[in-house]
Chains A and B, each alone.
Chain A
Amino acid sequence: MQKFIIRSLQKIVTKKNVLQERCELVPYECDALTAFRALPIAVVLAETVEQIQEVMCFCQQHKIPVVSRGAGTGLSGGVLPCEDGIVLSLAKFNRIIAVDLQNRTARVEPGVRNISISQAVESDNLYYAPDPSSQLACTIGGNVAENAGGVHCLKYGLTVNNVLQVKIVTAKGELVTLGSQALDAPGYDLLAVITGSEGMLGIIVEVTVKLLPIPECTKVLMVTFDSVAKTGDAVTKIISKGIIPAGLEMMDNMTIRAAEDFLHIGYPIDATAILLCELDGTLAEVEQAINEVSLLCKEAGAIEIKLAKDEDERKLFWAGRKAAFPAVGRISPDYYCLDGTIKRKYLAEVLQKIDSLSDEYQLKVANVFHAGDGNLHPMVLYDANKPGEFERVEELGGKILELCIAVGGTITGEHGVGVEKLNHMCLQFSSGELEQFHALKRAFDPDGILNPGKVIPTLHRCAEFGAMHVHDNKLPHPDIPRF
Chain B
Amino acid sequence: MLNLDNSKQLALIVNDAIKNKQPLKIFGGNSKSFYGPKSKGEPVCVAEHCGVINYQPEELVLTVRAGTTLSEIESILAEQNQKLIFEPPHFGAKATIGGAISSDINGPSSPWFGSVRDAVLGVKIINGQGEILHFGGEVMKNVAGYDVSRLMVGSMGTLGLLLEISLRILPLEKKTITFLLETTEEEAIQRCSQLNRQHLPLSAMVYYNNLLYIRLSGNIASVNSAYKTLGGELLTDNNFWYSIREHTHPFFYQTGTLWRISVPPATPPINDLDGHWLIDWGGAQRWFISDMAAEVVYAKVADVHGHATIYRNIDSIGDVFHPLTTSQRHLHKMVKQAFDPHRIFNPGRLYADL
**Which residues of A are interface residues toward B (Cβ below 8 A)?**
100-105, 124-126, 146-147, 149, 153-154, 157-158, 160-161, 170, 174-178, 180-190, 192-193, 195-197, 200-201, 212-216, 236, 239-244, 280-285, 287-289, 341-345, 370, 373-375, 408-417, 421, 425, 428-430, 432-433, 436-437, 439-444, 455-456, 481-483
Contacts and interface: CB of A to CB of B under 8 A. Distances in A.
A360 to B, nearest CB: 25
A177 B263 CA distance: 16
Given A345-B58, A410-B139, A442-B338, A188 B151 contact: yes
Contacts of A161: 114, 118
Nearest to B321: A186
Given A161-B118, A213-B197, A455-B145, A483 B140 contact: no
Interface in B139-154: 139-148, 150-151, 153-154
Contact of A409 (B139, B306, B309): B139
B interface residue count range (under 10 / 10 to 19 / 20 to 34 / 35 or more): 35 or more
A283 B200 CA distance: 11
B153 A444 contact: no
Interface stretch (B71-79, B130-138, B235-243, B251-259): B130-138
A374 B141 contact: yes
Identify which of B114, B124, B131, B155 gathers the most chain A CB atoms within 10 Å of its CB: B131
B145 A456 contact: yes
B117 to A, nearest CB: 6
A213 B198 contact: yes
Interface of B: 54, 56-61, 63, 81, 104, 110-111, 114-115, 117-118, 122, 124, 127, 129, 131-135, 137-148, 150-151, 153-155, 159, 164, 166, 170-172, 174, 193, 196-201, 218-222, 224-226, 262-266, 281, 284-285, 305-307, 309, 321-322, 324-325, 327-328, 330-332, 334-335, 337-339, 350-351
A436 B339 contact: yes
Nearest to B306: A182
A432 to B, nearest CB: 4
Given A285-B219, A443-B337, A186 B309 contact: yes
Nearest to B220: A288
6 contacts: A104-B196, A160-B117, A180-B307, A343-B138, A410-B142, A440-B146
B209 to A, nearest CB: 24
Given A184-B104, A483-B63, A196 B143 contact: yes
Contact of A343 (B61, B122, B327): B61
B197 A126 contact: yes
Contacts of A215: 199
B115 A183 contact: yes
Given A182-B264, A288-B222, A442-B338, 16 more contacts: A102-B266, A183-B265, A183-B285, A188-B151, A197-B147, A242-B172, A280-B199, A281-B218, A285-B221, A285-B222, A428-B144, A432-B132, A436-B339, A437-B145, A443-B335, A483-B122
Contact of A417 (B140, B145, B226): B145
A310 to B, nearest CB: 20
A285 B262 contact: no
A414 B141 contact: yes
A373 B141 contact: yes
Nearest to A288: B221
Contacts of B164: 483
A289 B219 contact: yes
Contacts of A124: 197
Contacts of B145: 417, 425, 428-429, 433, 437, 455-456
